[in-house]
Amino acid sequence: MASRLDRRPGTGDLYPAACLDALAERIRAIRPTEGAVMVAIDGWGCGGKTALAEGLLDRLEPCFQYLGTDEFFAGFGVLDPGPVRHLRWSEIESAWIGLRQTGRAEVRAYDWETSAILPSSPLAGDAWLVEGLFCLRPELRRLYDLSIWVQGRMVDRLTRVAARDGAHMIPFWEREWMPTEHAYMASERPWLSADIVVAGAELDIGDLGETLRTCI
């Protein structure tokens, strides 16, 4: 089955091929203790998570399928009662648990072009790469066979946001998204729970440790 990720040719090449090959080999070696294999990729927004997912999917498809937290966006101006107010958190938990335990789930994806939540559609598969900010919240950590944290360069991060999403999205990031993101980082320090930490967007691996120490 093709990935749900909107692939951007060449994006996965932002990571060294040797790094992607080694990660893919480790992922292939996973033997699930129950249900489907679940591998998580978390990290700051616009930090290189999706690029890493694309590079890995180039090596893991069709055995692995993709599901991202962005598909569970609540909508602009809509707040969810769960722990991440911009995401339909109860639906994320239900989908993640279903995939882990049975390899099946029902998902109402968010269509970013029409700003609408789509009708429910079934998912099924034995191996999943789940990606997105908040993947390593405590409610989900127990579900993963492997977890990866991507740490991108923090300086001038909004320049990358403007290039990717458009300058019109900067006010939403500053007003809504970043405060929620910072609260998650400050309270959970999710990189400490990851099995692997990767240097992401515009970050030299030699600067990884210092960036992790000073990112909040």
HEC per residue, 66-93: EEEHHHHECCCCCCCCCCCCCECHHHHH
pLDDT of amino acid 32: 76
> Hey, what amino acid is at 8?
R
pLDDT of amino acid 2: 38
pLDDT of amino acid 3: 44
What is the per-residue pLDDT across 22-68, written as a single tens digit (0 to 9) for each?
999 999 999 877 789 999 999 999 999 999 999 999 999 999 999 99
Closest residue by Cα to residue 152 from 23, 36, 45, 9: 45
pLDDT of amino acid 7: 66
Residue 88 resides in a domain: no
Residue 100 resides in a domain: no
Low-confidence ranges of the chain (pLDDT < 70): 1-3, 7, 9-10
Give the structural domain span for 39. Answer: 13-71+126-214
Residue 79 resides in a domain: no
Residue 63 resides in a domain: yes
Class of residue 149 by CB neighbours under 10 A (exposed 0-12, middle 13-18, buried 19+)? buried
Residue 117 resides in a domain: no
Residue 45 resides in a domain: yes
